[in-house]
Structures are given as C-alpha cells and as structure tokens.
Structure 1
Amino acid sequence: MLRAVFVRTLKAGVTYEQFKEAWVPADTDGYPAKVSVSRNVADDRQVITVLEMDMSLAEFEDRRTELTRPDALERLAEIVDTTELEGLYEEAFNDKDL
C-alpha cells in the first residue's frame, strides 16, 4: 500500500469546492486510489490530502498521471498559499498488525 500525503494551506478566501475543482480529475471512473481530504480544525485554510493506492511503486510511477488533472499544478498554484508536506509513503504496518 502506498500513500501520497499533502498538507497545504489555501489562500485566504479559497473554498473547499475551489480546491476540489482544481485537483480532482475530470474523469474519476476507475480512479486508482482512495482519497481523503480533511481540514485542520484549528486552521480551516489548512487541508490534508491522502491518497491510498493498493499498488507497487513501479505501478504508481506508470499511473501517476491518472491521479490529478494534467494542469493540476498550475490550478493549485492559483489557490494554494503554501505546501507544508508532500510525500509518498509505503505502508510499514496497519491495524491488522496491532
């Protein structure tokens, strides 16, 4: 299991709907990841995006363009103030291992 994690602070006045429109691909049929976007309860401009992908790193490299819009970086640059964390993580253990 791979997880891509992003913590971003949106520019003042940007809505979550604007963030969704900038990031979510136009066609999500067969989308290869489980997605969660959450807001920070102490700072509603800060959002964390987590993509969970049941695939190998090699398959991720082959399919990464399917995960966002082709112009997502440009679209996000217009509404994101800062990106505090951006990373790809490989699962070490999960709740089944507890």
Structure 2
Amino acid sequence: MLRAVFVRTLKAGVTYEQFKDAWVPEDMDGYPAKVSVSRDVADDRQVITVLELDMSPAEFEDKQAALTRSDALERLAEIVHTTELVGLYEEVFDDSALCGSG
C-alpha cells in the first residue's frame, strides 16, 4: 500500500469546493485510489490530502498522471498559498499488525 500525502495552505477566501474542483479528475470511474482531504483544526486554510493506492511504486509512476486533472498544477497554483509537504510513502504495517500486541 502506498500513500501519497500533500499538505497545502489555501489562499485566503478559497473554499474546499474550489480546492476539490482544482485537482479532482473529471472522470472518477475506476479511480485507483481512496482519497481523503482533511482540514487542520487549528488553521482551516491548511488541508492534507491523502491518496491510498494499492500498487507498487513503479505502478504509481505509470499511473501518476491520471490521479489529477491534466491542468491541476496550474489550477492549484491559483488557489494554493504554499505546499508544505509532498511525499510518497510505502506502508510498513497497518492496524492489523497492532492487534494483540501488548
């Protein structure tokens, strides 16, 4: 399992709907990831986007372009003030490995 993680601060006045419209592909049929977008409880302009992908890093490289709109970078540049984190993480263990420990 891979997780692509992005932490961004939106420009003042930008809505979450505008953020969603800026990067979500127009056709979500067969989308290869589970997506969640959450806001920081201390700063509602900061959002974290996590994509959970059941694929290898090599497969991710092949499919990366299809995970956002083709013009997502330009659209996001209009509404994102800063991007604090961009990362691709490979799962080491999940909650099933924690059950029964201790």
| Shared fold per TM-score greater than 0.5 | yes
Q: CA RMSD in A?
A: 0.4
Alignment-derived partner of residue 17 in structure 1: 17
Larger radius of gyration: 2
Q: How many residue pairs end up in the alignment?
A: 98
Give matches, 1:18-97, under 5 Å. 18-97=18-97
Distance in 1 (CA, whole Å) between partners of 2:66 and 2:32 is: 8
TM-score, normalised by the number of residues in structure 2:
0.95
More strand by share: 1
Overall identity of the aligned pairs, in %: 83
Helix, strand or coil for the counterpart of 1:44? coil
* Structure 1: distance between partners of 2:56 and 2:17: 31
Instruction: Give unmatched runs, 5+ long, in structure 1.
Output: none
Cα deviation 1:22-56 (Å, max 9, x = unaligned): 01000000000000000011100000000000001
